[in-house]
Amino acid sequence: MKRPSPTEFTRRVLHVLRRIPAGRVVTYGDVARLAGRVGAARAVGQIMARAEEPGLPYHRVIAAGGRVGGFGGNPQMKASLLAAEGHVIRRGRIANFAARRWDGS
Partner DNA sequence: CGCCTGACCGAAT
Partner DNA sequence: TATTCGGCCAGGC
- Residue ranges in contact with DNA by CB under 7 A: 4, 6-7, 9-10, 27-29, 37, 39-51, 58-59, 61, 63-65, 67, 69-72, 78, 91
Cβ at position 29, least distance to DNA in Å = 4
**Nearer CB in complex with DNA: 59/100:** 59
**Nearer CB in complex with DNA: 20/40:** 40
Cβ at position 53, least distance to DNA in Å = 10
Cβ at position 3, least distance to DNA in Å = 8
Long-range contacts of 65-74 (CB under 8 A, 24+ apart): 65/27, 65/93, 65/97, 66/25, 66/93, 66/94, 66/95, 66/97, 66/98, 66/101, 67/92, 67/93, 67/94, 68/92, 68/93, 68/94, 69/28, 70/45
